[in-house]
Amino acid sequence: MEPATETRLADVPAQEMYDLVAALYPICRSITGEGVRETLRTIGEHIDLDVHEVPSGTQVFDWRVPREWNIEDAYVANLRGERVIDFRANNLHVLNYSIPVRRRVSRDELLEHLFSLPDRPNWTPYRTSYYEENWGFCLPHEQLLELRDDSYDVCIDSSLVDGNLTYAECHLPGASDDEILVYAHVCHPSLANDNLSGVAVAAFLAQEIATWPRRYSYRFLFAPGTIGSTTWLATNEQSATRIKHGLVLAGVGDPGPSTYKRSRVGDAEIDRAVIHVLRHSGGRHEVREFSPLGYDERQFCSPGFNLPVGCLMRTPYGEYPEYHTSADDLKLVRPESLADSFAKCVAVLRLIERNLTYVNLNPKCEPQLGRRGLYAGIGGTSDGRELERAFLWILNLSDGGHSLLDIAERSELPFDLVHKAASELVDASLLHEIER
């Protein structure tokens, strides 16, 4: 069983993904609260989502689900009543998870609660204080330098009360209960590449895969970073054992080359599938070893789970200047980069769906291909020679111990060609699929 149609780049919903990023961009998200719910409702306009609410205080391994944070408004005003920092202009201006505050403060006290980037004086940084009660504002450094009054009125109209952590999943059942996981974090406010790009690619990937005949079941998770994956793993420990391959998608919309971070396992099928697709994509790319730093793969790859979950990015987090600042905006994300990331994900998942293992039914010396019409389309063309090479590699290595990906790697032929050749050998009754 395999996906019926080849996905060509022309079919990639580049503009639709970009439009979803743009629609989600203004929402003030955090690890909990209405911003996450509104985000999930918007994603739910494209795919079927099951939304889950996990109450504050729920023990999730070594953590507790925090109180729910919501915010209506926030500003710093001078004593003439003019807003000099305004949450309504950009939600990055408030320290995410700020406790409510409403009072007059001296300039010195205010400065202790302000965050800016002196080396990028016209960008606003993104800062959070999830697990330590604090309040604060983030602003361009050049704007901070203009705050010369003796005192200011500070207002943060937020609430931090018992509520829920919200996440959503799109489950697509396949022939097998074995699952492929795709994870995107949904906790950042107005930041486009980190991670509305990942959200958009994951959502449209789910929409695409919903149309496939599926060997695997799929689980797309849209949840806050760290606490979201921890909560899911703690409340779905049994389901987690079904995950056979997984990808975290983060920062997949910037113009940089694709970067893949291997799972903790290192040479799992997902690692090898992504690396094969990147190598045969013809574009610049980078492969990095696993490290316990990064996105939600940290939780899936913690030693108590050690699931084969890698992370696909473009420029890695922290390595582009716009990262976690107001400059990670709708100009940083490009439809063509989203499209390229999407196409690579589709290629990876199609590969895994079709990575079957066969036995050669004529293993004693080479079978006569010409007699079976397998030379018919070959002639002297280079395509024909490649196909012939694929036939010979498949027939030689199909001893039940090598998958088509093993054969593609060993022969350095593209997986799609190896798969096409295998299908012809099956049709000619020279190969037989086996369970592995």
Positions in the binding site for Zn ion (CB under 5 A) = 194
Q: What type of residue is 212?
A: W
What is the β-pairing status of strands 101-106 and 217-223?
unpaired
The tokens 């004693």 sit on which residue? 364
Pick between residue 249 and residue 349 the one whose CB is nearest to Zn ion.
249
Give the separation between CA 295 and CA 287, rounded to whole angstroms: 16
- Rounded to the nearest 10°, the torsion over CA 259, 264, 267, 271 is -40
Q: What type of residue is 250?
A: A
Minimum CB distance to Zn ion, residue 197 (Å): 11
Pick between residue 324 and residue 354 the one whose CB is nearest to Zn ion.
324
Q: Please report which helix (H) or strand (E) contains residue 173, including its range.
A: none
Minimum CB distance to Zn ion, residue 324 (Å): 6
Pick between residue 325 and residue 360 the one whose CB is nearest to Zn ion.
325
The tokens 């983060």 sit on which residue? 250
Pick between residue 185 and residue 214 the one whose CB is nearest to Zn ion.
185
Neighbours of 403 (CB within 10 A): 19
Residue 365, sorted as left (phi over 0), alpha (psi -120 to 50) or beta, turns out to be: left
Minimum CB distance to Zn ion, residue 411 (Å): 40
Residue nearest to Zn ion (CB): 194
Minimum CB distance to Zn ion, residue 97 (Å): 14
Q: What is the maximum span of the chain, computed from C-alpha positions, in angstroms?
A: 93
Neighbours of 390 (CB within 10 A): 24
Give the separation between CA 165 and CA 153, rounded to whole angstroms: 32
Whether 226 contacts 76, CB under 8 Å: no
Minimum CB distance to Zn ion, residue 188 (Å): 5
Minimum CB distance to Zn ion, residue 183 (Å): 14
Minimum CB distance to Zn ion, residue 261 (Å): 15
Whether 402 contacts 269, CB under 8 Å: no
Sheet holding 101-106, edge to edge: 83-86, 68-77, 151-161, 101-106
Pick between residue 323 and residue 393 the one whose CB is nearest to Zn ion.
323
Minimum CB distance to Zn ion, residue 194 (Å): 4
Pick between residue 194 and residue 269 the one whose CB is nearest to Zn ion.
194
What would the two tokens of residue 30 be?
Answer: 């955090």
Which 8-state DSSP code applies to residue 309? Answer: E
Residue 31: closest CA among 201, 192, 164: 164
Give the separation between CA 154 and CA 415, rounded to whole angstroms: 60
Pick between residue 165 and residue 356 the one whose CB is nearest to Zn ion.
165
Whether 263 contacts 307, CB under 8 Å: yes
Pick between residue 283 and residue 292 the one whose CB is nearest to Zn ion.
292
Minimum CB distance to Zn ion, residue 225 (Å): 7
Q: Is 257 exposed, middle or buried (0-12, 13-18, 19+ CB in 10 A)?
A: middle
Pick between residue 169 and residue 194 the one whose CB is nearest to Zn ion.
194
Minimum CB distance to Zn ion, residue 395 (Å): 49
Pick between residue 188 and residue 264 the one whose CB is nearest to Zn ion.
188
Give the separation between CA 99 and CA 160, rounded to whole angstroms: 7
Minimum CB distance to Zn ion, residue 199 (Å): 12
Pick between residue 35 and residue 414 the one whose CB is nearest to Zn ion.
35
Q: What type of residue is 324?
A: H
